[in-house]
Structure 1
Amino acid sequence: MKAVAVLSSLAAIADAAATWKNARFGGGGGFVPSIVFHPTEPGVAYARTDIGGIYRLNDDDSWTPITDSLADTAHWGRWGPDALALDPQDADIIYSAVGMYTNDWDPNNGAIIKSTDRGETWTVTDLPFKVGGNMPGRGMGERLAVDPKNSDIVYFGARSGNGLWKSTDAGESFEKVDSFEAVGTYIPNPNDSSGYNSDKQGLAFVTFDSTSDTVDGATSRIFVGTADNITASVYVTEDAGATWEAVEGQPDQFFPHKCRLQPDEGALYLSYTDGSGPYDGSLGSVWRYDISSGEWTNITPVTGSDLNFGFGGLALDMQNPGTLVVASLNSWWPDAQIYRSTDSGATWSVLWQWGNYPELIYYYGISTEKAPWIRNDFLDVDSKWLGWMIESLEINPHDSDHFLYGTGLTIFGGHDLTNWDRTHNITIESLADGIEETAVLEIASAPGGSELLAAVGDISGFSFADAADLDTAPQNVWNSPKFTSTDGVDYAGNNPEKVVRVGKDGGAPMLALSSDGGFTWALHAGADSSASGGKVAYSADGDIIVWSTESGNVIRSQDEGSFSAISSLSSGAVIAADRSDNDYFYAGSSGTFYVSSNGGSAFSEAGSLSGVDSIRDIATHPTTAGTLYISTNTGVFTSTDHGATFTPLSTTLTNTHQISLGVGAGSTDFNIYAFGTGPNGARLYGSGNGGDSWTDIQGDGQTFGAIDGARLAGSGNVGGRVYVGVLSRLVK
């Protein structure tokens, strides 16, 4: 999932310099299925996220996004990397297979992207099928690999029954390997009509044996894993891919997730689970395969009733053959477990164990200084400290003390792993600084109030009091109550310390109020469990709430009373409150605009919008009552009389989506920002002259995925600054 992009302050829209950076949540916030270190070049490592693109590791443990330029509105799925590969012979080269979904949620086929300068620039090779970076099984892998003896040869294991593919021109083109017939037949749920769980999982990994001979300049021995659990799931070629056969004697009960070569031992290590991950897995195993003898050894570190999970992340210490770590994929209670062996899996030690029940004895300490909210609002209120969905667990091949592992919340790791063997105690830190991978569902900036309010999927949301705070990870998420996901947030224009938010969990009251800019909260007294999700509008004085719920009607509450349906508005209506006049609310449904002058009690049809059949968003002026801007399928309209009449703005911008106003160059000037189609295509535009003309302020180096889902907020306090929240990032 990504975070919030922030455009640095501009003197004027016409002089817009498209410089963007992350608002800092500091802790990741979403699933990191893979981390890859370069095998021969120290200091080179990358992480792939499921919907937030790829990040490069820096010397100070922080991360830099390197695929932000790839996910334009036509190719938003390119922020979904499903596989990652480095060229063992050239540390500057990185490949990734990208594409978000294999069902119809993503309209595009996937692609193989390649960089020869560590992610500064990319080339794209389109594939004739889809790739599933956010599909089940995305933690398997890596499905993509470069021949360690021939940089021109790249293999990719596809999903959906598409089999094994090969490039012989360093990724410029790919052809199917017809000699490899296995396709990975496992389907999690054949009855899933959405296609999300009813697609074949396909191939799981491609692993070259760098110790094998060469055939015609290529590595002769290659192992490929498939998502099968009945007979064979691991295949091998001894002739550089001309022929393939199932590896004899292999386990046939579970699905392989990771396959790692230890060249000094001449062995493979593999982790197995009874599901394809990343959410499932109640049984599993770990195996060692001696390549020369063909002997398989079950080295599963736990047995019997203690084995109630599968295994995902698996790492070998390349400085110390025979030393490895493996993680439970999903041990939901009381916590995940990580196991370490220094004798090739013959014996294991653990990171925690039971004392006198319910006491736990910990062999680690944990720190979240880079993202305090992880400790304050997750670790300290749950038993799961080590994490969940651990599909990637890595030991730096050049530093046996340096380890990293990805979870469903962050990247953990540290720099003292060998202390495990000496004192049986290590230090674990949250080390995802720079990986801003959260689904931002709504944002707002309150003039005279909190500079940024961010409603976030899976981790509730955040408040930033001042612009300077955007460079510091918050102490807390929105809590008391903490909604798993917050769908909408709004503030009272005349009293911006008053904030309202709505959650989308369901099954409990999903509306909370704050009187201090979103730092402390209380449940709305009139809310019940019948409504959730959607968007919310707060009256100018902060005493009336209009809520366009996802679960039903548009409803209204005054003075924290119970909610009642607004019969004059249809379900799903777009809503907004006048920022200065407490009596006025506005709404749009299809192409019809509605106004309420009695605090939202009733709405009536107002001014007509010629040629409009879809009202997408409504932005009300921060300081002038009755002035508003309407984003539609034909462009932007404005009204200065509470929506009684409308005037279309410049025809430069059409088919617009979210729209927002923010402080301009002067303290009383306001810029308009809108996502729409303009001279440079579908992207973000700004106007500093009331919409008479529009300037592309996005630039070429930053994309926001599908712009119809991006969130937008002009700063209420900093001239020329605008915030963009996407389904994977919040940038400024």
Structure 2
Amino acid sequence: MRLLTLEFACLLAAAAPISVAAQYTWKNVKFGGGGGFVPGIVFNPTQKGVVYARTDIGGLYKLNSDDSWTPLTDAIAHDKTWHIKRHNWGVDAVATDPIDPARVYAALGMYTHSWDPDNGAIARSSDGGATWSTFDLPFKVGGNMPGRGMGERLAIDPNNNHIIYFGARSGNGLWKSTNQGQSFEKVTSFTSVGTYVADPNDSSGYNSDIQGLAWIEFDSTSALVGGATSRIFVGVADKGESVFYSEDAGQTWSAVPNQPQGFLPHKGKFQPSEKALYLTYSDTSGPYDGGNGTVQRFDIASSTWTDITPVSGEDLFFGFGGLALDMQKPGTLMVVTLNLWWPDAQIYRSVDSGKTWSVIWEWGAYPDRTLYYDYSTPKAPWIITSRGADDTKELGWMIESLEINPLDSNHWLYGTGLTIYGGHDLTNWDTTHKVTIESLADGIEETSVQALASVPGGPALLSATGDVGGYTHDNDLTKSPEVAWINPSYATNTGVDYAGNKPQSAVRVGNSGSEGNQIAVSSDGGKTWAELQGGVAGTSGGKVALSADADSALWSASSGVVVVRSGSQSQVTSLPTGAAIASDKRNGTVFYAGHGNRFFLSVDSGSTFTSVSTLGSAQAVRDVVVNPTLAGDVWVSTDDGIFHSTDYGKTFKKTDKSVTDAYALALGKGPGKYWNVYGVISRNGSPIELFMSNDTGKNWNKIQGTRGFGAAGGIFLAASKDTSGLVFVGTNGRGAFYGLPG
């Protein structure tokens, strides 16, 4: 007997019986540890407890009093074009108002090149992110572009909160608003555009775009000019002159004299009591790289620079990212390595304005280290349990955000490429030299889901994810997994499936960038895994289907379609690369595939395929799913709608002519004799959204509500075969959601 959590039981009791008009409630499947890069964390300087974290593909979050986080931008990621883009989940900058702490601003947009079709926007909230207004910009914003950890590119005048500056990418320069972000005008007197590019030879535009302005910082102690703060600093992504200032509230600008060159200024922060600007530099823009750097202090009164880099010589082989100032203790600051890949990141702390530094760990008798911290991840156990035996990294990588609470010297947070770490005993560093570090990303769900499967009689969900592997989720979806998929570990798992007649048997495929075997199998419902012998090194990525009897796996990999059996792998020459695939869940010799407008059938366990039918006027097959209990019952989504066959795909019938476009599909337990069919579809040309049918596709009911799931092509569906109405939605940026009626 399968046990349900109390929450599940209540939801199911309230929901039964399910009707066609049922409304769905959506919640995140809990990963618990973030699962992606957090490039920026911003504390409000005047109101305790107001803290925001921006992510590159998962939107904006706000800190709660219990150290958890609440997502803020889901509602504005749902608009008439949500199905084409996840545009508003890319956050390139955030600013919290020091005068009116309820006000917060975010620069939204994912990419500055062709991957994002639309210009960026400034989002403004006057109620702490509960509701938003958005104002379009005349250029694109790059929340997931190179250099996204530099910042913040948005800044509010601390003496006049009607004035906001924004530093743009792509050569668009500096922009200013005088009406609290409702409109911006270009500051034509600021002529530096930040010409650094990561790779000028990248033809895609991703690494070859100008990275632009990096951050804006006000000297809050300077005189007012026309009601505005007079002294402003701007850092740009340029290895020449990269730090500029104005003494007349932005009317004229000059390069700061005698500044360091040859580096990019990642962070610039002003300490009002010292009247000093602190800066961290790296020789690249990050977030993945950096081989050299420096830390500098600029004294405003004397206009002098002091090199306060914590290390030098052969010990300096990394750049610096995060920079934190303790506003309660002038002269106390911290900096961190941007990327120190071995043995771990290093965090430096100074209590004398950078004259001397202490570290969070140091070498003992090699290879031993002395650690000045206690480390735990109770909110996301998989962070520790899934780390390889040879992986010494605990503190993280891609560390661009490092912050000390300006109103509480003990509270600190920093973002990594995986999660948010921090604690509440930071001042112990200066006494016992021992602090507590914990994963504090509970509620931040920015995982990129690549595939989902729900196993009958087994775990509620198998989730293949990007960068952080994949997970087996118990029936309690509110609990973080104890361990990620390991032995073998793939940085990214791209496909997962189970065997219909042996549902405890599962298969997954990955794309870790290595040359090893990238296909693994489980015989215990995804609890443990082993490499599937016979997989050929170099085959990777794509999707996978496991035969009903678990004796063969069809793999639509990036290099073509192969079939893998214990001890051998062979190319399937009768299928085109990129074909959508599925296995029949009852007939162990049958596999299905679709490509273009053709449907293919194999009756010899995937060795050969025959084109057996065409699918209307379709030009693209998006998904192929099968009835979990009935052989030969197969469903196909295309750009011409949904097609259904009951004879192994030899003939198809279009389910509903009003469905004009379809992406992900799933079949799950329904309230009556039919399986629920879930589809990401367009009806009569309307915006693509998530619908459900419980009468084999004759009628459809929208169940998405106001929930945004991002780009339609990046959505994956799975549905429970055991719990009526339970459906899962995987997104590219906000993790996985589960929905139940009620």
Give the TM-score normalised by structure 1.
Answer: 0.96
Q: Match of 1:93? A: 103
Report whether the alignment pairs 1:371 with 2:380: yes
Q: Provide the residue aligned with 2:553 in structure 1.
A: 545
CA distance in 2 between partners of 1:669 and 1:325 (Å): 61
For 1:719 and 1:93, locate their aligned partners in 2 and report how far apart those are by CA, in whole Å: 43
* Amino acid in structure 2 at the alignment position of 1:521: W
1:512 counterpart residue number: 520
State the distance in 1 between where 2:207 and 2:413 align.
29
1:408 counterpart residue number:
417
AA at the equivalent of 1:67: T
Q: Deviations over 1:691-728 (max 9, x none)?
A: 1111111111x211111221111122221111111111
- Residues 1:649 and 2:649 aligned together: no
Give the Å deviation of 1:414: 0.5
Shift of 1:426: 0.5
The superposition leaves residues 407-466 of structure 1 with CA deviations (integer Å, 9 ceiling, x where unpaired) of 111111001000000100111001111111111100010111221000011111000132
Partner deviation per Cα, 1:114-161 (whole Å, 9 max, x = no partner): 111111111111111111111110000000011111121111000110
The amino acid of 1:209's aligned partner reads D
- Deviation string, structure 1 residues 468-516 (Cα, Å, up to 9, x no partner): 2x11111111111011111100000111100000111241111100000
CA separation in 2, counterparts of 1:624 and 1:210?
70
User: Given the superposition, is the C-alpha separation of residues 380 and 323 from structure 1 closer, same or farther in structure 2, using an over 3 Å criterion?
Assistant: farther
2:668 equivalent to 1:662: yes
**Matching residue's letter, 2:144:** N
Contact 2:377-2:383 at 8 Å conserved across structures: yes
Greater alpha carbon shift after TM alignment, 175-184 vs 241-250? 241-250
2:556–2:581 CA contact under 8 A, matched in 1: yes
Match of 1:696 in 2: 702
1:401 aligned counterpart, secondary structure: coil
Partner of 1:390: 399
Q: Which whole-Å CA distance do the structure 2 matches of 1:78 and 1:660 have between them?
A: 27
Partner of 2:323: 314
- Given the alignment, which residue of 136, 142, 153 partners 2:146? 136
Query: Counterpart of 2:536?
Result: 528
State the AA in 2 paired with 1:719. S
Taking the aligned partners of 1:637 and 1:210, their CA distance within structure 2 comes to 64
Equivalent in the alignment of 1:3? none
- Supply the distance in 1 between the matched residues of 2:224 and 2:727 (Cα, whole angstroms): 55
**C-alpha contact 2:616 2:640 (8 A) present in aligned 1:** no
Residue-by-residue CA offset, 1:511-533 (whole Å, 9 max, x unaligned): 10000011101111111203111
Deviation, 1:611, is: 1.5
Aligned to 2:717: 712
Paired position in structure 2 for 1:67: 73
- 2:82 is the counterpart of 1:76: no
Give the conservation status (yes or no) of the 8 Å contact 2:21–2:701.
Answer: no
State the SS of the aligned residue for 1:388: coil
Determine helix, strand or coil for the equivalent of 2:76.
coil
Q: Give per-residue Cα distances to partners, 1:266-285, cap 9 Å, x unaligned.
A: 11111111111111111111
Pairwise CA distance, 1:601? 2.3
User: Is 1:672 matched up with 2:682?
Assistant: no
User: Structure 1 residues 13 and 244, CA, compared in 2 at 3 Å: closer, same or farther?
Assistant: farther
Query: 192, 209, 215: which is aligned to 1:205?
Result: 215
Tell me how many residue pairs correspond in the alignment.
720
1:178 corresponds in structure 2 to 188
What is the distance in 2 between the residues matched to 1:166 and 1:73? 32
Deviations 1:82-124 (A, max 9, x none): 1111111111111111111111111111111111111111111
- Residue 334 of structure 1, aligned match among 313, 329, 343: 343
Question: What is the aligned partner in structure 1 of residue 5 from structure 2?
Answer: none
1:628–1:642 CA contact under 8 A, matched in 2: yes
Determine helix, strand or coil for the equivalent of 1:117.
coil
Matching of residues 348-497 of structure 1 within 5 Å: 348-378=357-387, 381-466=390-475, 468=476, 470-497=477-504
- Which range moves more in the overlay, 644-653 or 178-187? 644-653
* C-alpha contact (below 8 Å) 1:652/1:693 kept by paired residues: no
Q: Partner amino acid for 1:730?
A: A
C-alpha RMSD of the superposition:
1.5
What are the within-5 Å matches in structure 2 for residues 223-302 of structure 1?
Answer: 223-230=233-240, 232-302=241-311
Contact 1:450-1:497 within 8 A present in 2 as well: no
Return the alpha-carbon distance in structure 2 between the equivalents of residues 613 and 277 of structure 1: 40
User: Equivalent of 1:604, from 610, 623, 627?
Assistant: 610
Q: Check conservation: 1:8, 1:20, Cα contact below 8 A.
A: no
1:194 corresponds in structure 2 to: 204
C-alpha separation in 2, matches of 1:8 and 1:42: 36
Q: Over residues 644-702 of structure 1, what are the superposed CA-to-partner deviations in whole Å (9 max), with x where a residue is unaligned?
A: 21111122322101111111235x542111112137521111112211111111111x2
Contact 1:653 1:694 in 2 (8 A): no
Q: 2:163 aligns with which of 148, 153, 158?
A: 153
Residue 8 of structure 1: how far off its partner (Å): 6.8
**Amino acid of the structure 2 residue aligned with 1:150:** N
Q: 3-state DSSP class of the match of 2:661?
A: coil
> Contact conserved, 1:8 with 1:720, CA < 8 A, in 2?
no
Q: Distance in 2 between matches of 1:516 and 1:440?
A: 22
| Higher RCO, 1 vs 2 (CA within 8 Å, ≥6 residues apart) | 1
Gaps of 5+ in 2: 1-7
Distance 2:295 2:19 in 1: 58
| Partner AA of 1:711 in structure 2 | F
Moved more, 146-155 or 130-139: 146-155
Q: 1:491 to 1:136 in 2, by over 3 A?
A: same
Residue aligned with 1:708, SS: helix
Cα shift readout 1:212-232 (whole Å, capped 9, x = no counterpart): 1111111111111101112x1
1:604-643 superposed matches below 5 A:
604-643=610-649
Q: Could you tell me whether the CA contact under 8 Å between 2:34 and 2:446 is conserved in 1?
A: yes
Separation in 2, partners of 1:18, 1:719: 12
- Structure 1 gaps of 5+ residues are 1-5
- Tell me which amino acid in the other structure corresponds to 1:90: D
Is 1:34–1:392's contact at 8 Å kept on the other side of the alignment? yes
Choose the corresponding residue for 1:501, options 490, 495, 508: 508
Cα pair 2:290 2:318 within 8 Å, conserved: yes
TM-score, normalisation: structure 2: 0.95
C-alpha deviation, 1:380, in angstroms: 5.5
Separation of aligned partners in 2, 1:689 and 1:525: 42
Structure 2 letter corresponding to 1:665: P
